[in-house]
Structures are given as structure tokens and as C-alpha cells.
Structure 1
């Protein structure tokens, strides 16, 4: 059988060793697996009339890059609005909002995303600074962490939100002033949804087109796969539709949410749904939350932050979370738990330890997502329990500062801010560290994620000092964090993450060597080609 893809005149980079393979060409068979490695002449001889043959003139081929934590559907929808991520102060935000308001029709909603709480300085995060600009305009402005939002006065009115509410999520809140009037700040999904339900929603076709465009952009950035950490709304139907049409350019591993209030039937439904999918997507795992975020005071810390906040778990009764993790473990379902604060991370590790003690299916690989601050005695437990550390270094780079004057660091204080995003310590402790973007929270281009893991500087100004340079990863470790590590986390190390016969033909091709390109220059390294299952999903014009 003739291969579907042949790449030749290439340098084949092995992330397991950090060296180049002796071969200069590879072929991917009709089954989507690497069928042969060899020299140019022998591999080119395998090609048939239907084979795509690409000469790379010394370009570097790596296993396809995988984003270990991404939200494709919600990201495609959220980023359709006004991008506020570049605003450095309140005046910048007001100017951006004013410009967008001028383009709106009567009664039309304004949607924004990426709002950094640091723009408020020492002021409380509230809609009041924007009241004059948003007078009479229904607006919903998502903060950068996507766990909180600001709603304008008109949006609150249309949603019927005129005071505090009670939610099943312990950290969810309609924040109100001393007189019980909403300030516009909505904490966590349950509160945000009060206003989102009142806003116009995109059609199915609009969602599909936005998702397809976002996935194409990801492929062009070098991604061949992603661990999708939600299955909300129409997500699974959209993946199925694109997959059936041959328009899914990434291989997606999807983890539906399990929220507080999920009953026994709901857990059984999550277990029964495992394995659903198509050619390039599959439901594999369950996503849970142990806390919120440090920036909005909803993380779970062992000691309160400087405002006396971040003292509670996301689950009103954390023991219920522990019981559900145990049930999923015994059913062989891997879990991925959002845990940002030190108390949250500790509770997740304790829960996984209890689950493992009950037996169950051997080899289940559980994960902790984010891990923004943890004490020393937590580090070694990841290796001991076989728990994957899933981290997003660009969150540290872009939303905190080396001098700890940012909102995240000021809330935690010097001791805890000094142990931010301990990628190096977790790696050295023997944990498997998976890297990702958490898009739309941070940009998805994987070279930027890998660069941030190495330099730990703000991507918008690389002249600024790094935050915790002692926690940086090497170039090879960063590459492994997006190749071999996500393959291991998915239990697919025997068929993914390497350039070897029998492994998937998911490939990323760069104009130069990502291991020798300086970290500050890495985001600009051209991505020449990406392939999934040996089918090209991106090809630069010059290739």
C-alpha cells in the first residue's frame, strides 16, 4: 500500500533524546501511522501517484505539538467580541469600549473578553469606571481568567439581577455593595450565566464557522492536537459535524465537566459517555473544579489572601468531590481537576490517594490543572501518586510581574508569590509536566507557550525581568511538555509523541530548530507545515 504522505530532505527531531534521527525522510501510511523512516531515496521510492510528497530543504520535523489544556468551542465564541487583553489601564479600556459603542446599533449588546484586573490598580473590580461609556448599553465583559465578568447596568437590568443570589457553587457570587446593589462583578460560571442567558446567542452555523476558523488558526500555529477541557453546549455536536465533513484539523481529547450538584445518575452518565467520538475526537476523561482563581478571590488557599478571601473550595462539601473522584477512578475514568490554590491542590492529591487505595482500574492517569502556587511538601506527591501536572506558563508570564506588584502576587503576599508556577520544581521532583495555553485565557500558539516556559517574561514586553527565572524549563523540556508529556498523560505514549514507525503521523515542521532558537525569538519561528494522520492541515506558501 502506497503512503499518503512523504516528507524528505528533513531533519527529524526526537524529543525523547533531543537529538536528530539519522534518517532524513519519513512516510505516513494510509492508516495515518508512520510507516517508514529512511534516507531520501528509499522513502521517496515508496510514493505513488496519490501520495503527497514534500521536500523540506533541511527544515525540522517534530512530533505534532499538542496543547495540554484548551477550550476550542467556548474560546471561539468568547474571542469573537472586543479584545481587551491589550488594555494596560482604565483609560485604555474606556477608549476601547467607546469605540465599539459607536459601532453598535440600538439595543445591540457589547461583548468583551480578556479584561485584566490589574487595570483597576487599587480600586475594586467593578463596572462603575465604565458607567459613562456604557450608559444604556447592555455589555458583558469577561475578565481574563474566564471565571468572572463585568456586566453593565443595562445588562443587569435585562437579566433581572438586582441583588445577591445563592448558588450551588460555593464561590459563585453576584458581588454587591454595602447597600445590596450589584457592582457589576459576577464571580464564577453560575453567576455569569444569569446575564449570559439574557444576551443574544450565536446560531449553530455561526458557532460552527467560528470554531472551524479557530481550529484552522491553531493548525497554522503548529498544533496537531488538544486536550479540550469542556464539552459544554453544542461542543460534541460541533466536533462531530466538522469531523464528518473532514474539517477537523486537530485531534481532540475531550473531558466533559462534573460540577457541584452532579448526582449519582449524572456521574453514571459521564462514565457511560467515555469513548464517544469520531475519527479525530474522543471523550476521554472528566473535568472537575476544586476552586476558582486567585485574581478574583475564589481560589482555595491554606491561608486567606490579603483581602481575607480565597478560603473556600468550589464544592460546598469537598468530601463529595472526593467520593466522585473515587467512583470515576474505579470505573477507569481519568480526571482532570482545576486546582489553583495550595489547599485545592492538596485536597485533589489527597482524593486521588484515597481513590487509588480502593483499587479500581490500574494505570488510570489523573491530572491537576494550573497548580499556580504550592508548598514544598506537595511537589513529590505528584510523582508518588502518578499525577500529571498540567501547567500554563504564559499565565505567569503575562498576568504577573517579577516585582510582585500585580494583583495575583499582591493577593498572595511575598511568600506564596515567590513559589509561582513551579514548573522546574515539579519537573525535578519527577512529575510529568504537560504544557498548554488554556485558550482563550492566553494565546494558543504553542511556540509562545514553549517560549514562556523558558523565559518567563511578559510576551508583550520581553525587556521586562522574568518572574521566577529559577522555575524555567529548558528548551528540550518545553518541547517534551507539548509532545511526549501529553501523549503520556493520555496513555498514548506507545502511539503518539515520537517519530517512530507505528506512531501517529501527527507532525509539525519548523523552518529552524526549536531547541537552539533563543526563547525570546521562538514565537517567530515559522511553522512550515502541520499534518494530522498524515494529512496536511497547514502548509506555508513557500513549502
Structure 2
């Protein structure tokens, strides 16, 4: 007979990370329905074992709260699977044939995109054959990482990017096209499934401007109970300035169990390797230069203060120590209670920072959104050469200084800049706790976090960043 009673399960493990302490325990957790009923040591499990319906011994497998990725872009992730698969296509002649075949299968096309373009091993029979063969239909075929593309003049004119400059923010006009494709709802469900498989149960999802209306797809998924993810949406001004009215509309609309609207995200400076990170002191390789492209700090401050006044949070992306200092100065002007920021503003990346500004972040309550897997992208020697050439002296000692953040009381959270990286908790431990690059060599180990501190950043702190710390982020009864 079916009674409808919810079963209770006791999970035993020698490695339960509750996020209420940095060290895992050898113990148990009891779950009934969607609630935790008890957590304790292995000895304490004896008094509960007869009160549960089923006991599952996980051995040494780790039990932890769901992980949070605080910096994701579905728009970039989905582009890598859209349109024509160019894997294995090595010439423009074969490419044109593939495009014509795609058009014959799909009928009239307003635009054509593809993925898997191998730019380094692609041969050309003539100059700009795409523009000649397809003069009226925009065509853009992207590499696997969408770092460059093969495109025609119609695409350049309509979308405003080039193969040399097709980074994510440049593609916002194209995104307005493909985010309305009928396959997007299923694509997002597949995206969530991929993240769930990696232990991610909550994300901060960033969309450009008004997200091209894609929020309606997310709302449909939530309303149909098909959104297996807590999603905190942020708007990143790209094609237009900050839109406070849009934010207010989304804050009203997205207030369910899974969806919320948090505020805004914006780039400030860019990579130190290309002299685009803003420094406090000039580059060693370019005397007198602190940043090749000046940052519009007047605009950023105006937008941040306006967002703060309206109860929205801002996350500003900084790579150089000068940019970090600028942003902390801006946050000093935002509303506070007891000396701490009311709206939990954040700084993302923090590749290179001055310790004094990390102390200020701790006092203000500024959240640090770090990329714990970032060292997995490079070999140590390449980064060392860049630091020695561009910065010089002993300035490298302040690279990825998560230890100083932690010791200064900064709330550290984790992001991947997905699709730059896919969340991989073991890899993050290897890099952000061990200090290792992809070649197995380590750097600035004194700046790294402990494993427990890093797991806290992925869990408890991540939920604090999403304003859900009262119900999520730790393994506790209730």
C-alpha cells in the first residue's frame, strides 16, 4: 500500500564536509524529503540508525553541500554547439559545401553559424570566399573556444565583430539572434544537467543588457518545475548603459524558489599580459604606462552608485591592482550598515592585487569572486616570463593572493567564467590549494588556500554571494 510517507535515509561517510567547519568529519547525515534531519559523528549515528528507513554507507566518498559557480555565461557555452559542426573540415571549398548542405536541409536561413572551426589548419583557395559565395546571409563559423572565427562581410556589417575581435562582449548582437532559436530551452536543460553532473547546484548567470528576452525561457523552466538549479541572474551592460528599470522589472518577476535577479556585472580592465590590466605603478616593459586602454571610471562609478541606491548589487571584474583599488574606492561611496556594504558588491578575478586593498575589501565586506582553476590554462614558465617582463621586480608575489584575502576577512567565492573553464572541484583544489599549473609546476604556494577554505568558498560562501545563506550552503539539521 502506498502511504505517501517520505522515506528517511542515513548516509554514512568518512568524509563529510559540512561547511560549518573547515575539516571533514567521519560521520553521518540523515535526509528526509528535501530536509536534513540530523548530522553528526560516526559514534552519534548509533542513536539514529533505528529511526531511519534506509542506511547507505558511502565509504570514503565525500559528502558536501551543493557547489556554487558564481560566474557563468550560458550564451558563450551554447555557442560552442550551435549550427554547423566544422570539426574535420579543413578547407574553404569543403566549408562552402558544408554550408550549402546545411542550407538545403534547413531551408531559408536568416543567418548561419557553426562551431569547431580549426583556424590553424584551414586552407583557403581564394580571398574572402565566404563573402563571394554568400553575399546576403551573415555567416560566422567559430573555433572550439570561440576565440576567433571564419566569417563573411555580411556578418561583419550586421554584428559588428571581426575574427580578430570576437570575444564574448563583442557578440551581443549575434546573441540576440540565436537566443531565440526554438532549441534554446532544451539547450539550457542540457547545460544544467552538465553542471549538476559536476556537483553544481547554484549559479550566478550573466546575460548582456536585457539578456535578449531569454529570462522568459528560464521562467518557463522554473514554472514547469524543470529548472534543477538555483539561478541568480545578473545583467551586464554591453550594447547600452545600465538599465535600472529592467532590473526592477526582473526583480519583481524573478522571485521564485529557483530564479532571482541580483543586479549587474561589468568589465573594467583586461589582461595584464596585453598591458590592458590597470596597474598602480607602470609596467616594467612600458615605462609610464599603467594601462594601454583607459578605463571609463566615471561611467562605472555612476552606474555602481545608481545600482546601489536602488538596492542592486554590482560585480566588477578587475585584473590589475590599479583596477582593484579604483573599484574599492567606488565601493567606499556605496551604502553601508555597521561599516559593511549593504548590497554585497563583489570584485571578480583579482589576478593581481595590492595587499592593502584586500584589507580594505575585508573591512567593507566586498566579496571576492576568484577563478580557482585559472592556473590550469597555462604552463608555469609562460606565466613567469610574462610577469618578469611586464611587471618586473618582486611584483609577482601579489599574484593570486587568496591567502591575504582570507586572512583579511574577505568572503571568497568561486567562479569559472564558464565557458572559459568548466567547473571541476578536484582541479580547483590542485590549482588554488596546491598552486599548480597544467604542467605540474607550482607558484606562490604561500598565497594559496587550504582545501577546507576552498571548499567553503565553493559552498557556504557561494550561497552567501547569492543571498541564500539562510537555507543553503551548509549541511545542518533543518
The TM tier, using the shorter chain, reads 0.7 to 0.9
Q: Does 1:290 align with 2:249?
A: no
Residues 1:251 and 2:243 are matched in the alignment: no
Find the residue that maps to 2:154 and give its secondary structure.
Answer: helix
| Residue aligning to 1:397 | 376
The 3 A distance-change label for structure 1 pair 296 and 19 is closer
Check conservation: 1:65, 1:482, Cα contact below 8 A: yes
CA distance in 1, matches of 2:144, 2:386: 13
1:150 pairs with one of 122, 140, 148:
148
- 2:48 equivalent to 1:72: no
Q: Match for residue 88 of structure 1?
A: none
Quote the Cα distance in structure 1 between the aligned partners of 2:156 and 2:294.
Answer: 28
How far residue 427 of structure 1 moved from its aligned partner, in angstroms, is: 1.5
User: Aligned equivalents of 1:430 and 1:475: distance in 2?
Assistant: 17
CA displacement 1:396-427 (0-9 Å, x = unmatched): 33135245356687555565544322222222
Q: Secondary structure at the match of 2:398?
A: coil
Structure-1 separation of matches of 2:122 and 2:387: 23
Q: Quick one: structure 1 residues 76 and 4, their matched pair in 2 at CA, closer, same or farther if it must change by over 3 Å?
A: farther
Counterparts of 1:128 and 1:19 in 2: how far apart (Å)?
47
Match of 2:182 among 187, 205, 208: 205
The 3 A distance-change label for structure 1 pair 273 and 363 is same
Residue 286 of structure 1 deviates from its aligned partner by 1.8
Counterpart Cα distance in 1 of 2:426 and 2:24: 19
Q: Distance in 1 between matches of 2:396 and 2:430?
A: 21
TM-superposed CA distance for 1:36, in Å, is 3.9
Residue 438 (structure 1) aligns with: 417
Q: Given the alignment of the two structures, is residue 355 of structure 1 paired with residue 357 of structure 2, yes or no?
A: no
Question: What's the secondary structure of 1:247's corresponding residue?
Answer: coil
- Relative to the length of structure 1, the TM-score reads 0.69
Q: Specify every segment of 5 or more residues in structure 2 that has no aligned partner in the other structure, as ranges.
A: 103-111, 131-138
What secondary structure, in the 3-state scheme, does the structure 1 residue paired with 2:476 have?
A: coil
* Corresponding position of 2:134: none
Task: Tell me by how many angstroms 1:215 deviates.
Answer: 1.3
The verdict on how the C-alpha distance between 1:55 and 1:73 changes in structure 2, with shifts beyond 3 A counting, is farther
Distance 1:242 1:2, change over 3 A: same
TM-score (norm 2): 0.78
Give the whole-Å Cα distance in 1 for the aligned partners of 2:237 and 2:177.
Answer: 26
- Superposed CA offset, 1:24-58 (max 9, x none): 231244xx3324447377467455xxxxx572333
Q: Is the 8 A contact 1:313 1:344 kept in 2?
A: no
Counterpart residue number, 1:222 = 199
- Does residue 500 of structure 1 match 2:476? yes
CA contact (8 A) 2:347 2:367 kept: yes
Given that 1:257 and 1:286 are in contact with CA atoms closer than 8 Å, whether structure 2 keeps it comes out as yes
Stretches of structure 1 lacking an aligned partner (at least 5 in a row): 48-52, 85-94, 116-126, 166-173, 175-181, 503-543
Work out the CA distance in 1 between the residues paired with 2:92 and 2:442.
Answer: 34
> 1:273 and 2:271 equivalent?
no
Give the equivalent residue in structure 1 for 2:109.
none
User: What's the C-alpha RMSD, in Å, of the aligned pairs?
Assistant: 4.0
Q: Distance in 2 between matches of 1:5 and 1:80?
A: 43
Distance 1:99 1:33 in 2: 57
Structure 2 residue corresponding to 1:239, chosen from 218, 221, 237: 218
Output the CA distance in 1 between the equivalents of 2:421 and 2:116: 11
Query: How many corresponding residue pairs?
Result: 442
Match of 2:11 in 1: 8
User: Which position in structure 1 is the counterpart of 2:30?
Assistant: 26
| 1:28-427 equivalent positions in 2, closer than 5 A | 28-29=32-33, 32-37=34-39, 39=45, 42=48, 45=51, 55-58=56-59, 59-78=61-80, 98=90, 102=94, 105-106=98-99, 111-112=114-115, 132=124, 136-137=129-130, 139-141=140-142, 149-152=147-150, 155-161=151-157, 184-186=163-165, 191-193=170-172, 196=174, 201=178, 204-230=181-207, 232-259=211-238, 261-262=240-241, 266-274=243-251, 276-277=253-254, 278-295=256-273, 297-302=275-280, 303=282, 306=285, 310-315=291-296, 318-356=297-335, 363-399=342-378, 401-402=380-381, 404=383, 410-413=389-392, 415-427=394-406
Contact 2:234–2:265 (8 Å) recurs in 1: yes
Question: Does the Cα contact within 8 Å between 1:223 and 1:446 map onto a contact in 2?
Answer: no
On the 8 A contact 2:205/2:231 being kept in 1, the answer is yes
Instruction: Determine which structure has the larger helix proportion and give its number.
Output: 2
Kept after mapping to 2: 8 A contact 1:71/1:229: yes
Counterpart contact for 2:372–2:414, Cα < 8 Å = yes
Where do residues 457-468 of structure 1 align in structure 2 (5 Å cutoff)?
457-459=436-438, 461=439, 464-468=440-444
User: Contact conserved, 2:85 with 2:114, CA < 8 A, in 1?
Assistant: no
Shift of 1:351: 0.6
Q: What is the Cα deviation at residue 449 of structure 1?
A: 2.4
In 2, Cα distance between the equivalents of 1:128 and 1:474? Answer: 40
SS of alignment partner, residue 182 of structure 2:
helix
Deviation at 1:428, TM superposition (A): 2.1
Q: C-alpha displacement at 1:83, in angstroms?
A: 11
Q: Quickly say closer, same or farther: Cα 1:416–1:158, change in 2 above 3 A.
A: farther
CA distance in 2, matches of 1:192, 1:408: 30
In structure 1, C-alpha distance between the alignment counterparts of 2:341 and 2:178, rounded to whole Å: 43
Cα gap change, 1:237/1:309 in structure 2, threshold over 3 Å: closer, same or farther?
Answer: farther
Shift of 1:484: 1.5
Q: Judging changes above 3 Å, is the alpha-carbon distance between structure 1 residues 128 and 251 closer, same or farther for their aligned structure 2 residues?
A: closer
The one-character-per-residue Cα deviations of 1:356-407 (angstroms, maximum 9, x if unpaired) are 3799996321100111111232221110111011100222331352453566
